[in-house]
Amino acid sequence: MSETFRITFLGTSAAVPTTRRNVSATLVAYQDLKWLIDCGEGTQRQIMRANIGFKNLSRVVLSHEHLDHMLGMGGLLATLNMLQPVEQVVVHGNPTVLERVRQMTGYIGRTAQYDLQFQVLQEGLVFTHRQLVGIPNGPERRRLLAGESLQSPSGQLVHPDDVLGPEEPGKKLVYISDTMYFPELSSVAQGADCLISEATFLHADAALAAEAGHMTAAQAAMVARDAGVARLYLNHVSQRYAQREHLLLEEARHIFAHTHLANDLDTIGV
């Protein structure tokens, strides 16, 4: 299957950075679009180290308001203001995290040199890309997909061959951040081509994981197995295992063979 997304792990440590792992951030690139998922402290420097560049970095999704997932936003937005590689930045998240980011922008000093928008993340479609030459979603688009020619709103006659490339199956990427295990997670992740899941603790520390509201590597693997995903990447790992991280991987692979341990600056295709 062809590669659709390129994913770069920018920060894979839980709560605090280590010498080898920065705090949470993952970059998802699709064609000329870049989506940043979470933005812990130091993320902008990780973007530079990964040679990704700031151009087209116009969408940020913040999973929640904990500092290890959003403290890097102030610095990133200030740098975008200095270098001006984008004309618009849209930040998605819950109302609390958006308010915190809004407060940070108050310290930047110069008014934003780009269109900065905040959108509360809600269930359902939040973004579509590359409209078929202005043919809106709906019956017209369905007729076009069914092979009929039709007239665009601008009066142009549009034939299916003009706008439809070879059919490609969709891709499903699931990112699970900071949660306890609960069985319904596997219905959310059902059939994903790639599951990136928090795996903060080893199962030997399951009681600690539950107390702190996190998952173990074994639980992440159970979600992957029950959801029938293609691949699992363990993410958001506790610094307490810095000298024995292989145990997280071994524990998860015992339950779900196609498991990998995400490392900072690893890039994968999905």
* DSSP symbol at 22: P
Residues in region 20-39 near Zn ion by CB under 5 A: none
Residues in region 48-87 near Zn ion by CB under 5 A: 68
- Contact region for Zn ion (CB under 5 A) — 1-9, 36-44, 99-107, 175-183? 175-183
- Cβ atoms of 85 and 111 closer than 8 Å: no
Q: What six digits make up the tokens of 49?
A: 């180290």
**Which residues are CB-contacts of 254 (< 8 A; sequence separation ≥ 6)?**
218, 221
Beta carbon of residue 233, minimum distance to Zn ion (angstroms, whole number):
16
Nearest partner of 134 among 122, 152, 148, judged by Cα? 152
Beta carbon of residue 215, minimum distance to Zn ion (angstroms, whole number):
11
Q: How many residues bind Zn ion (CB under 5 A)?
A: 2
Rg over alpha carbons for the chain, rounded to the nearest Å, is: 20
**Which residues are CB-contacts of 158 (< 8 A; sequence separation ≥ 6)?**
132, 133, 135, 144, 149, 150, 151, 152
205 noted as active-site residue = no
Q: Toward Zn ion, which CB reaches closer, 83 or 242?
A: 242
Q: Toward Zn ion, which CB reaches closer, 41 or 68?
A: 68
Beta carbon of residue 232, minimum distance to Zn ion (angstroms, whole number):
18
Q: Does 178 bind Zn ion (CB under 5 A)?
A: yes
Beta carbon of residue 62, minimum distance to Zn ion (angstroms, whole number):
11
Collapsed DSSP state (helix, strand, coil) of residue 33 = strand
Residue window 89-108: x/- pattern of binding to Zn ion, with contact defined by CB under 5 A: --------------------
Catalytic residue from among 68, 115, 178, 264? 68
Q: Give me the residue label for tokens 């699970």.
A: 176
Query: Could you tell me what percentage of the chain is helix, strand and coil, using 3-state DSSP and rounding each to the nearest 5?
Result: 30, 25, 45
Q: Toward Zn ion, which CB reaches closer, 24 or 81?
A: 24
Residue ranges that bind Zn ion, judged by CB under 5 A: 68, 178
Active-site annotation, residues = 68
